[in-house]
Amino acid sequence: MAAVARTLGPEAAELKPGRRELRTPSPRSVVWLLPGDSRPGAVLGISPDPLEGDEGQAVRIILALSVGGGQGFESAATQKLVSTLADPEVESGLLTAGSVEAVARIDRLMSLSLRGQRKVRDALTPMSYRIYPDTPLSEVADLMARKNLAAVPVVGEGLQVLGIITSGEALQHALRGQGRGGPATSGTRARDVMSRAVLCVTEDQDLVDAAKMMSNRDLAQLPVVREGEMVGFLTREAVLRALLSGSG
């Protein structure tokens, strides 16, 4: 957690926690959630003298948070930070810290991230086309060539994932047709070529876990579903961008 620690002076008496959304991890600490949609950040203040909180508690530790992305205290990362501040050992370390450097040495607090874990939804590529079981393979092949797709999922009328066609499978089928001397894909439908064992992920799954799944199984992309309905794809390129940029 990138935090700035300072000792609050006389102006601290004017700080009224009740003006903002807050949590009280302990009788001596309060966490404010600043309004707005700014970038994640935190300011930590430690008062040498007790301040009167909303419920009469003698507050000495004030943590002002901006979590970004319109998130609130329901954010898992924010909840973890509040629970960490409630730890008696962390609180004692803050109350006895005499400098910013001393606060920075409280590893359990400083290692926390306001961003939380990135989810699959952070790298989701929304679905912009449909492949159904009756779609001719020639149309599937044309789509894969135009969009430079390594695989395409096949969905039902309710957008449930029924199967997947990889470029390798489409090529193998085309070569078999050529070997028999006939048209490569004449009369062939998506259902004739698709693999029916399909690995899917949900929007709420951890992005790193999904990336490991793709790497271990050498998958170029994964269908992403919401309550059984396909909503998009997770591709290697999008995962790399999300992980390397630190977004989400």
- Which CATH number characterizes residue 80's domain? 3.40.930.10
**Which residue, 147, 132, 149, 151, is CA-closest to 217?**
151
Alpha-carbon gap, residue 199 to 212, rounded angstroms: 13
| Ramachandran category for residue 227: left, alpha or beta (phi over 0 → left; psi -120 to 50 → alpha) | left
The pair of three-digit structure tokens given for residue 116, joined into one six-digit string: 């939380």
Q: What is the CATH number of the domain that holds 197?
A: 3.10.580.10
- Whether 87 maps to a domain, the answer reads yes
Please state the φ and ψ torsions of residue 117, each to the nearest 5 degrees: -80, 140
pLDDT reported for residue 19: 44
pLDDT reported for residue 117: 66
- Whether 83 maps to a domain, the answer reads yes
Asked if residue 105 and residue 125 are part of one domain, the reply reads: no
Q: Which residues make Cβ contacts (< 8 Å) with residue 2, sequence separation at least 6?
A: 41, 42
pLDDT beneath 70: ranges in the chain: 1-21, 34-41, 53-57, 66-77, 111-117, 177-186, 244-248
Asked if residue 238 and residue 124 are part of one domain, the reply reads: yes
Asked if residue 124 and residue 228 are part of one domain, the reply reads: yes
Domain boundary among 92, 110, 128: 110
Which residues are registered as beta bridge partners of 21?
Answer: 33
pLDDT reported for residue 50: 82
Asked if residue 191 and residue 172 are part of one domain, the reply reads: yes
Alpha-carbon gap, residue 115 to 122, rounded angstroms: 12
Angle at 44 between CA 38 and CA 47, to 5 degrees: 140
Asked if residue 176 and residue 73 are part of one domain, the reply reads: no
Alpha-carbon gap, residue 159 to 180, rounded angstroms: 35
Asked if residue 130 and residue 103 are part of one domain, the reply reads: no
Asked if residue 218 and residue 135 are part of one domain, the reply reads: yes
Alpha-carbon gap, residue 120 to 247, rounded angstroms: 12
Asked if residue 124 and residue 106 are part of one domain, the reply reads: no
DSSP string covering 89-107: HHHHHHHH--SHHHHHT-H
Asked if residue 222 and residue 200 are part of one domain, the reply reads: yes
Q: Which residues make Cβ contacts (< 8 Å) with residue 123, sequence separation at least 6?
A: 207, 234, 235, 238, 239, 241, 242, 248
Range list of H helices, the chain: 76-85, 88-96, 100-104, 107-110, 137-147, 167-179, 190-193, 207-216, 236-245
Alpha-carbon gap, residue 1 to 108, rounded angstroms: 10
Asked if residue 99 and residue 13 are part of one domain, the reply reads: yes
- Whether 115 maps to a domain, the answer reads no
Asked if residue 106 and residue 30 are part of one domain, the reply reads: yes
Distances (CA, A) of 166 to 80, 141, 172, 193, 234: 41, 10, 10, 9, 15
Asked if residue 52 and residue 29 are part of one domain, the reply reads: yes
One-letter identity of residue 106: I
State the total domains in the chain. Answer: 2
Domain containing 33 equals: 3-110
